[in-house]
Amino acid sequence: MSSKIEELKKLYEQALLGGGKEAIDAQHSRGKLTARERVELLVDSESFLELDIFVRHRTTEFGMDKRWVWGDAVVTGLARIGGRRAVVIAQDFTFMGGSLGEMHAAKIVKAMQTAISQGIPIVFLNDSGGARIQEGVDSLRGYGDIFYMNVMASGIVPQIAAIMGPCAGGAVYSPALMDFVVMVKKTSFMFITGPRVVRAAIGEVVDEQQLGGPEVHAAKSGQADFIVEDDKEAIAVIKKLLSYLPSNNMEDPPVVRTGDLPDRDIPELDGVVPEDPNAAYDMYKIVDSVLDVGSFLEVKTQWARNAITGFGRLDGRSVCIIANQPNYLAGVLDIDSSDKIAEHVRFCDAFNIPIVTFVDVPGYMPGTKQEHGGIIRHGAKVLYAYSEATVPKLTIIVRKAYGGAYIAMGSKHLGADFVAAWPTAEIAVMGPEGAAEIIWRRELEAVKDPQERAKLLAKFTEEYRSKFANPYVAASRGYVDSVIQPRNTRRVLTKALEILSTKREVRIWVPPKKHGLTPI
Ligand code: HXC
C-alpha cells in the first residue's frame, strides 16, 4: 500500500512540473507566470479542486509516444474566487507551447460542461501556440468542440478570457466568443494570421505586437476589454470583474455594501454642464460621483471613447453603466460606439444587472465613412439591445438627446422603467441651429446681408431652444418621469433602483419565436 502511495506522490510531483524546470525558467524569463502559478494567484487559498491531472494525449505520430506530460499542457478545475465558485482553465505553455490537441481540448470541454451544469463562471487563461500540429484534424475538432461549448455557455454563465501569451489562428475564436477579454501587455497577442503569412499573402510587413498586440486590440479593434501590465494585474482584474457578476443567468448579482450613503447629495453636479450648450465636459465626473465611491470599473476604456461602458455599484447593488462622452467626438453615436453600447447592454441584460444610462448625445454620426460602413445596421443594434433588455432600465438625460439617438439611448419608448432629466436637458428632433435653418429657411433666405442673416438665425435658434430644446415638453407627455436637480441624481437613482429591484420580465405580448434577429 505504502509503495502505491509513494508512486502516486511521485506522479503528482511529475505532473506539477509540467514541461519541466528548463521550460518553466524560460516561461519566467519571458516575464510570464506558469499556468499553476496563475491559478494559485487567482483562486482562494486551498480551494482548487483539479480535474484530469493524469490525462495524456494518445498520438503516436511524429515521435509523440515519447513526448508527453501528465495533464497534456492544460490545468483545469473548480475553485472559489472571492468566495464564489468558478471553473478555471489555464493553458501550460511549458509543454509544446501549450498547443491544443485532442485530450487537451477534451479537458477544457469537460470543465466547461461542468461550469454550465453547475451554473458557475468560466475563467480561461490562454497561453498557447494553437492547434497542435502533430495531432492534425483532432486538434481542429478540439477547437470546434470548445467553440460549441462557448456558445452553449453564452448567456448562461459569465465567460472571461485572459490572453497571457500567444493566441493565434482559429484559436482566437474561443476568447472572441466569450464575454470579456483581458490582454497582458508585451507578452500577449491575438491574430488570425501571423506576420509571416501576412507578408507572404499581401506583402504587408508588420510585427506581432503591431498586428495583434494588446494596445491594438484595446484601441483599434475593440477586441480587448481590459489591458494590463502583467499576469498579476490580469488576475486582479478578473477577480474584480467577477465581483460585479452573478454566477449564472438565474441569479442576481452579489450586493457589496461600500458604506457610501445612498442619499448623498452631490452639489458639484449642479455646475458640471457648461453654460455654452456646445461646450464639452467630462462625463466621467458624473459617473464617478454618482456611483458608490471607487466602484466604477470601466470596460473598453480606449475603444470608441465617445461611449463609456462599465460596471459600478449603487448602494451596493451592481449596475451596468452606459454613457455618452461629450469630451470625445461630442459623444456622438457612430459605428464603434453603437457596437460597444449594444454589446454591453446585452451582457448586462443576460446577467440580470440593471442598466443605468447617462445621455448627452447630439445624434448619429453623419458622413459617407459612417454611412458606407453601415451606421444604419450598427446603430440598429443599440435600439435592439435596449428594447430587448428586460432588466431595470434607468436613464438620466443630462443634456442633448436628439433625434434617433434620443430614442436609442435608453428612452422610455424602448421600455426604460425610469427616466429623469436634468434641467439642462435638450430633448428634441434635432439641435437648435440645424432645426432653425430648416424651419425658418424662407425667412432666412430673404435676408441678403450675411450679418443680418446670422443675427436672425441666432434669434430663431434661441426661439427654438426655449420652445423645444428643454426637458419640459417631454416631461409634459410623460416621456420623462421626473426633472431633477443634478445634485440629487444619486439619491433618485438609488431610490428608483431599490423600487425596481423586484421587477419581473414585462414585455408586450408577442407570439412565441425561436429567437429574434438582432442586426449583426
Ligand atoms: C505543436 C508547438 C506549436 C503548435 C508551438 N509549439 N506551437 N508545437 N503545435 N501549434 C512548440 C514549439 O515547437 C516549441 O517546442 C515550443 O512549443 C515553444 O515554442 P517556441 O517557438 O520555442 O516559443 P516562442 O518563440 O515563444 O514562439 C511561440 C509561438 C511559435 C509564437 C506560438 O511557437 C509559433 O509560431 N508556433 C506556431 C503557431 C501556429 O502556427 N499554430 C497553429 C495556428 S492555426 P520545443 O520542442 O522547441 O519546446 C490554429 C488553427 C486553429 O491554431 C483552428 C481552429 C478552428
State the distance from the centre of ligand 1 to the C-alpha of 490, rounded, in angstroms: 52
Say whether pLDDT at 506 is over 80: no
Question: What pLDDT is stored for residue 312 in this prediction?
Answer: 98
- The whole-angstrom separation of Cα 229 and Cα 187 is 9
Q: Percentage of the chain with pLDDT > 90?
A: 94
> Does CATH number 3.55.50.30 belong to domain 2-242?
no
Question: What pLDDT is stored for residue 56 in this prediction?
Answer: 97
The ranges assigned to domains in the chain are: 2-242, 267-429+470-500, 432-468
State the distance from the centre of ligand 1 to the C-alpha of 129, rounded, in angstroms: 4
Burial category of 77 from C-beta neighbours within 10 Å (exposed 0-12, middle 13-18, buried 19 and up): buried
Say whether pLDDT at 507 is over 80: no
Please state, rounded to an integer, the average pLDDT across all residues of the chain. 96
Say whether pLDDT at 468 is over 90: no
Cβ 271 vs Cβ 285: under 8 Å: no
Question: What pLDDT is stored for residue 258 in this prediction?
Answer: 87
Identify which of 243, 73, 102 has the alpha carbon closest to the alpha carbon of residue 165. 73
**For 137-193, how does the pLDDT look when each residue is reduced to its tens digit (9 = 90+)?**
999 999 999 999 999 999 999 999 999 999 998 899 999 999 999 999 999 999 999
Active site residues: 169-170, 404-405
pTM to 2 decimal places = 0.95
Cβ 394 vs Cβ 496: under 8 Å: yes
C-beta of 166 in contact with ligand 1 (< 6 A): yes
User: Predicted confidence band at 325 (pLDDT cuts at 50, 70, 90)?
Assistant: very high
Three-point CA angle 281, 319, 324, nearest 5°: 25
- Sequential DSSP letters for 421-484: E-TT-EEESS-HHHHHHHHTHHHHHT--SHHHHHHHHHHHHHHHHHHTSSSHHHHHHTSSSEE-
Say whether pLDDT at 74 is over 90: yes
- Tell me which architecture the domain covering 267-429+470-500 has in CATH: Alpha-Beta Complex (3.90)
Question: What pLDDT is stored for residue 314 in this prediction?
Answer: 98
Question: What pLDDT is stored for residue 508 in this prediction?
Answer: 80
Closest atom of ligand 1 to 23 CA is 48
Residue with CA closest to ligand 1 atom 30: 129
- The whole-angstrom separation of Cα 117 and Cα 99 is 27
**For 194-203, how does the pLDDT look when each residue is reduced to its tens digit (9 = 90+)?**
999 999 999 9
C-beta of 169 in contact with ligand 1 (< 6 A): yes
In 279-352 the beta strands, taken as DSSP E runs, fall at 297-299, 307-314, 317-324
**For 420-438, how does the pLDDT look when each residue is reduced to its tens digit (9 = 90+)?**
999 999 999 988 888 999 9
Question: What pLDDT is stored for residue 40 in this prediction?
Answer: 98
The whole-number average pLDDT for the span 473-497 is: 97
The domains spanning 2-242 and 267-429+470-500 adopt the same CATH topology: yes
User: Predicted confidence band at 509 (pLDDT cuts at 50, 70, 90)?
Assistant: confident
**For 258-293, how does the pLDDT look when each residue is reduced to its tens digit (9 = 90+)?**
899 999 999 999 999 999 988 999 999 999 999 999
In this structure, of 162-171, 277-286, 305-314, 498-507, the range with the lowest mean pLDDT score is: 498-507
Question: What pLDDT is stored for residue 374 in this prediction?
Answer: 97
Q: For residue 10, what are the CA distances in angstroms to 50, 232, 252, 455?
A: 17, 30, 44, 89
C-beta of 100 in contact with ligand 1 (< 6 A): no
Say whether pLDDT at 46 is over 80: yes
C-beta of 70 in contact with ligand 1 (< 6 A): no
User: Predicted confidence band at 505 (pLDDT cuts at 50, 70, 90)?
Assistant: confident
- The whole-angstrom separation of Cα 467 and Cα 422 is 16
- The whole-angstrom separation of Cα 356 and Cα 312 is 10
